[in-house]
Amino acid sequence: MPILETEVRWVKPPTLGLLDRLYLPAIAEGLSTTIKHVFQPKVTQQFPEERPDLPANYRGLHRLNRDADGRAKCVACFMCSTACPAHCIDIVAAPSPWPDREKYPEMFVIDELRCIYCGMCEQACPCDAIELTSMFDLTGVSRAEMMFDKEKLLSVFDQTAGVGKDPVRTKAGALSCASEPNV
């Protein structure tokens, strides 16, 4: 259907008056704006000293959650490594020594260099065992160092538990006990 003549709105460029044509008032206005900014509070964050206040749904380094007994909550179901689009999660399952679950991860390695931090692993996890934290400044001097094994991922939990930022996406305690029972 063609556009109706009545619906067409013609816009004419504004005609410049004498003051607009001299450009000096416009320049003065621009200068007053920029000078006003000189005295405004600064927004710079002095990074290493000042840490950014990240939003609660920030997707940073992974952690493996512990249950109330200090064990990894993971039951080695392979849902996360199946969901992972970057294939960066490597799990070796073994029969569980505890009566409350069938399997546990004998080895759980995440290649943090391959990970794209999409958060699909934590969505896939049926027992809230893997979560993304707000830690973003992970560095290493070798590739091997960036392969985070089970111990390292559990230690991330110990560092970030109780910060208050995690967990936010998982339904804490819906299928198994909450990730951070004390919080």
Partner 1 sequence: MPIETLITIAVIFGAIQGFAGGLVYVERKICAFMQNRIGPNRVGPLGLLQVLADGMKFMMKEEFVPHYADKVLFILAPTIGMIAAMLCFAVVPFGPTGNPNDPAYADTYQFVMAKNIDIGILFVFAVSSLNVYGIILGGWASNNKYSLIGGLRSSAQIISYEIPLGLSILGVVLMTGSLNLERIIWHQTAHPWNIFYQPLAFLLFMISAFAECNRLPFDLPETEQELVGGYHTEYNAMKLAFFFIGEYTHMITSSFLMVIIFFGGWHFPFIADADSWVGLKLIVFLTKMFLFIIFFMLVRWTIPRFRFDQLMALAWKVFIPMALVNLVAVMFVKEFAGDHLWILTIVSLAVLVGAGLITTAPVKKVQGVSV
Contact footprint for partner 1 (CB under 8 A): 16-19, 21-22, 27, 30-31, 33-35, 37-38, 40-44, 46
Smallest separation (angstroms) from partner 1 to the CB of 141: 24
- C-alpha angle with apex 163: 65 to 59, nearest 5 degrees? 65
Smallest separation (angstroms) from partner 1 to the CB of 53: 18
- C-alpha angle with apex 55: 54 to 59, nearest 5 degrees? 85
- The DSSP call for residue 145 is G
Smallest separation (angstroms) from partner 1 to the CB of 45: 10
- In order of 75, 84, 101, 179, the CA distances from 176 in angstroms are 11, 22, 11, 9
Report whether 65 contacts 105 (CB < 8 A). no
- C-alpha angle with apex 78: 62 to 133, nearest 5 degrees? 10
Nearer to partner 1, 37 or 171 (CB): 37
Nearer to partner 1, 4 or 38 (CB): 38
Nearer to partner 1, 1 or 35 (CB): 35
Report whether 22 contacts 16 (CB < 8 A). no
Smallest separation (angstroms) from partner 1 to the CB of 10: 16
Nearer to partner 1, 6 or 33 (CB): 33
Nearer to partner 1, 35 or 141 (CB): 35
Smallest separation (angstroms) from partner 1 to the CB of 15: 8
Cis, bond preceding 95 (omega within 30 deg of 0): no
